[in-house]
Amino acid sequence: MITAPELRTSSGAGDLHPSASVLEADRFAFGRNWLRFLTVLDDERIRRAEMSLLSMLKERTLEGRRFLDIGSGSGLFSLAARRLGAHVHSFDLDRECVRCALELRRRYFPADVNWRIEQGSALDREYLTSLGKFDVVYSWGVLHHTGKMYDALENAILPTAPLGKLFIAIYNDLGTRTERWRVIKRTYNRLPHALRPVFTAIAAAPNEARAFAGACLRGEALSHLRSWTAVGERGMSHWRDIVDWVGGYPYEAATPEAIFDFYERRGFRLVTLKCGGVGLGCNEFVFVREAD
């Protein structure tokens, strides 16, 4: 059973950051989506998350490392890092996401002093500075949902230790297609809750139809249908990913070059890049912070 969390919060963490440019009413409730995901979370999904984490970080283990999960969402990757031996600090702006992480800790690491969970904002510089330095700072698909993406990208530097790794994933900027989806996402969050599943299905239908047609042409129609119930590469479920995508607002994006240039100018060296064929999805980056 998931209970209401008792936790320290960063200043203003329970509200939209004062400098954000969107109304709270338009913000997608990521936590409600991920609470439902926890009902289907199993060992295979956790194992996939662990494998993808180690692959991108180019590590064999996280034993003894300090791992910060900025915007922990479902809590899956905090759990993966903890199982890989890291000392984990998870935080999220969304209280329901905090509940997700607390529930996973209750299930797998009850009363664990090496997994700390709080409510906090990626836009709160004072809070991030207070956390100290981490060997791995992880923020997958989060910073583009803050309403002030480049401020959040800057803030992610604060807790990254010298020679530490920064692993982020940011939506790919495709110009007018990106702008069209910004309108779709804002519309979703202004609809009554009862209409949102139907709107999600309609919004996702063109992409899903193209994907299915392509699978049919390759003779892989059955495999594509099975993908709806199969475990994804990062351990996520297909439908929850779709809801997260259609509803995910605020919504910003950047080209791979923009992210590379942003961090290179700030003393970071790119060690892993995953950006081919992602469309409007996330480009993934792992940077190493050069020694001060």
Centroid of chain to Cα 157: 17
Question: In this predicted structure, what is the pLDDT of residue 239?
Answer: 75
Question: In this predicted structure, what is the pLDDT of residue 89?
Answer: 98
Q: How far apart are CA 145 and CA 28, in angstroms?
A: 9
Sole residue written with tokens 């392509």: 214
Question: In this predicted structure, what is the pLDDT of residue 237?
Answer: 65
Looking at the chain, the number of H-run helices and the number of E-run strands are: 11, 7
Question: In this predicted structure, what is the pLDDT of residue 232?
Answer: 52
Q: How far apart are CA 99 and CA 3, in angstroms?
A: 7
Give 108's contacts (C-beta < 8 A, 6+ positions apart).
79, 82, 83
Whether the full predicted model's pTM is greater than 0.85, yes or no, is no
8 Å CB contact between 13 and 93: yes
Residues in the chain, pLDDT under 70: 1-25, 221, 223-237, 291-292
Q: How far apart are CA 157 and CA 198, in angstroms?
A: 40
Q: In this structure, what token pair is assigned to residue 4?
A: 């209401």
Q: How far apart are CA 189 and CA 231, in angstroms?
A: 27
Question: In this predicted structure, what is the pLDDT of residue 261?
Answer: 98
- Map out the domains of the chain with their CATH numbers: 24-173+250-289 (3.40.50.150)
